[in-house]
Structure 1
Amino acid sequence: MKVNEGKIDRLVRFVLGAILLALYLADVVTGTWGTVALVVSIVLLATAATGFCGLYALLGINTCPVKQQKQQS
């Protein structure tokens, strides 16, 4: 798996995942929506931790900046 998320993308995913998880754990979001929030938060936190998003790979999206290679003389 190749990293396809940039730093800002990963930070946004982490923050949103943490917020959704906190809302679920605090019983603010319950029932079916609570389950959806829990699953989405787990996916967001996992993709933020790994730097890889399967959906991005399928769609050909890459927010990770390309590393510049040094030119050899």
Structure 2
Amino acid sequence: MKVNEGKTDRLIRFVLGAVLLALYLANVLTGTWGTVALVVSIVLLATAATGFCGLYALLGINTCPIKKQEQQS
């Protein structure tokens, strides 16, 4: 797995994941919406931690500036 997320992308994913997880744990989101929020928050936090997004890989997206510079050399 190559890193394909930049700093800003990872920070946004972390913040959104943490907010969704907090809403789930505070019982603000319950039922089906709570389950969806929990799954999405886990995915966002995992991709933020690893720096790799499978969907980005499938679509050929790379927001990591370090990798872009290495490819140009």
TM over 0.5: yes
- Answer yes or no: is 1:17 the counterpart of 2:17: yes
Counterparts of 2:17 and 2:63, CA distance in 1: 18
- Can you give the 5+ residue segments of structure 2 that lack an aligned partner in the other structure? none
Corresponding position: 1:27 with 2:23: no
| Alignment coverage as a number of residue pairs | 70
Normalised by the size of structure 1, how large is the TM-score?
0.91
- Supply the distance in 2 between the matched residues of 1:32 and 1:64 (Cα, whole angstroms): 34
Cα-Cα RMSD: 1.5
In structure 1, runs of 5+ residues without a counterpart are none
Larger Rg computed on CA atoms: 1
Shift of residue 68, structure 1, vs aligned partner: 4.8
Using a 3 Å threshold, how does the CA distance of structure 1 residues 68 and 2 change in structure 2: closer, same or farther?
closer
Structure with bigger helix share is 2
Runs of 4 or more, structure 1, over 3 Å off, are: none
Cα separation, 2, equivalents of 1:54 and 1:31:
27
State the secondary structure of the residue aligned to 2:29: coil
What residue in structure 2 maps to residue 38 of structure 1? 38
Instruction: Tell me the TM-score normalised to structure 2 length.
Output: 0.91
